[in-house]
Structure 1
């Protein structure tokens, strides 16, 4: 098992939680991004830098994921592909994506994208709260113990 991170949009506070968890549990962690990221000096933590482009990082993650791996992403289509491969998927807000509910989330995402494309102002996600950070850390710990 290893942890994969869709790192281009992963908040720094979540990356820090991931770094500590990887070290504590001795779990390999790979940050996938299209730009260099500051990483702690650790043999367990590495970056896979991919070229810029639409879904390049997502495609690389899906190609390398194995069943039982953990993926950290807020990208719902990527989460759906990872679940199909048998990975466990967690958002930076601590929400665990599940096979039984991912289709509904994809439908809602597509609906909201259509609304935005038609000019409706939907607003962005709320700032990451301390409760979100705690929920993420707790859920990650549970996944790493399984």
Structure 2
């Protein structure tokens, strides 16, 4: 299965293409504002409003053999711990080898932002290269997840 943390996810259509090609069920999880897809393999899950409710829904279900698409680092860590594979929207793979450093960096940046309210955040814009990298990576991770089971 593929789980998509759908709030602010720029690659839902690409994930659906890969899921359809492999005949996988895909759950698009958000707290609203997502249009249901007619694809019978894609299920739109609307969770109640609240902090991290969508993340908890995904983390409670993702397991070995599944692929999770998210940019949320704590969610990624929980899914990796459960044995799922995790891909960020830009095609970066998160796994047991790199998640510790990424969590630490995230926490450090949060502390720096809290200490300096004028610090401007934000990364670079999402590009066509990111979209292409995502598609390639998701395809590889879906194939690898099939052998995990």
TM-score interval, smaller chain: over 0.9
Secondary structure at the counterpart of residue 142 of structure 1: helix
- Cα deviation for residue 39 of structure 1 reads 3.3
Matches of 1:44 and 1:117, distance apart in 2: 42
Match of 1:131 in 2: 129
Matches of 1:36 and 1:47, distance apart in 2: 11
Match of 1:7 in 2: 6
Aligned residues: 143
Runs of 4+ in structure 1 deviating by more than 4 angstroms, as ranges, are: none
Matches of 1:100 and 1:144, distance apart in 2: 19
CA RMSD of the aligned region, Å? 1.1
Which of 129, 133, 138 pairs up with 1:140? 138
Matches of 1:59 and 1:17, distance apart in 2: 24
Runs of 5+ consecutive residues of structure 2 not aligned to the other structure: 145-149
Q: CA offsets, 1:42-87, max 9 Å, x none?
A: 1100111101111111111111112120000000111000000000
Secondary structure at the counterpart of residue 27 of structure 2: strand
Contact 2:37–2:44 (Cα < 8 Å) also in 1: no
- Cα deviation for residue 36 of structure 1 reads 3.6
Question: Does 2:68 correspond to 1:91?
Answer: no
Match of 1:25 in 2: 22
Match of 2:54 in 1: 57
Q: TM-score, normalised by structure 2?
A: 0.91
* Greater mean alpha carbon deviation, residues 66-75 or residues 120-129: 120-129
Matches of 2:97 and 2:22, distance apart in 1: 29
* Greater mean alpha carbon deviation, residues 37-46 or residues 93-102: 37-46
